[in-house]
Amino acid sequence: MASAISTAISRDYSLYPYSDLTSLKIYLLTYLLKRPSIPTYAREQILYAIAALTKRGIEDYNEEEKRKVMDQMRELCVMSEWGRELAISLGKALVDEFGMIRGSRVGVSWDYHKRTKEYFEVSLK
């Protein structure tokens, strides 16, 4: 499922309404929150799909929505031990996706990748 989502993101992102993509991210995160016994591989793939959705849409977000990404991770940390584990894993997935080594797998130009990477680095400070 997560692999198919990542493939669709890279190929068809612009075909979906922004609200549907946001709803998908929320659904995927909620899905994980309700399943603490999900196998690690499946969890990581879903988190990478969330990270890919975040990267692909980062230039469509207004400043408030951009701040929400980090705010959601903070909220996960205080929810529960499982929420904290998800927040750490999501952070790793975001760093990987926005980084130079594993990034650019969502069908974007190198220039887009570089701009989103720079934004991500600045927003973490």
Range of the domain at 66: 2-123
Residues in the chain with pLDDT < 50? 104
pLDDT of residue 101: 62
pLDDT of residue 116: 79
Q: What confidence score (pLDDT) does residue 99 get?
A: 76
DSSP, res 80 = -
pLDDT of residue 109: 76
Q: Where are the beta strands (DSSP E) in 16-122?
A: none
Measured distance CA(104)–CA(125) in Å, rounded:
22
Helix (H) or strand (E) holding 47: helix 40-57
Number of domains making up the chain: 1
Q: In angstroms, rounded to a whole number, what is the distance separating the alpha carbons of residues 114 and 116? A: 6
Instruction: Give the pLDDT of residue 104.
Output: 47
pLDDT at 8: 78
